[in-house]
A and B are shown apart, each in its own frame.
Chain A
Amino acid sequence: MRTSRQHISVPGITPLVDVVFLLIVFFVLVSRVVDLDRVPMDLPMPDPALSAPPMERSTAVVNVVPGDDGEAAGYRLDGTTHATDQDGRNALRHALAAHLLADPTTAVVIRADRRARSGGVLPVLHLARRAAAEAGLAVPVRVELAVERPR
Chain B
Amino acid sequence: MADPLLDIRDLKVSFRTDDGLVRAVDGVSVSLYEGETLGIVGESGSGKSVTVMSVMRLITDPNAQFDGEVIYKGTNLMGMSQDQIRSIRGAGISMIFQDPMTSLNPVYKVGWQIEEQIREHEHVSRQAARDRAVELLTAVGIPNARERADAYPHQFSGGMRQRVMIAMAVSCNPDVLIADEPTTALDVTIQAQILSLIKKLRQDFGTAVVLITHDMGVVADMADRIAVMYAGRIIEQGTQRELFYDPQHPYTWGLLGSIARLDRPRPRRLTAIPGLPPSLMQLPAGCAFGERCAHRFERCRETPLLLDRTGTGHLDACHLSAQQKQDVRDRAIHPELVEERP
- Chains A and B bind each other: no
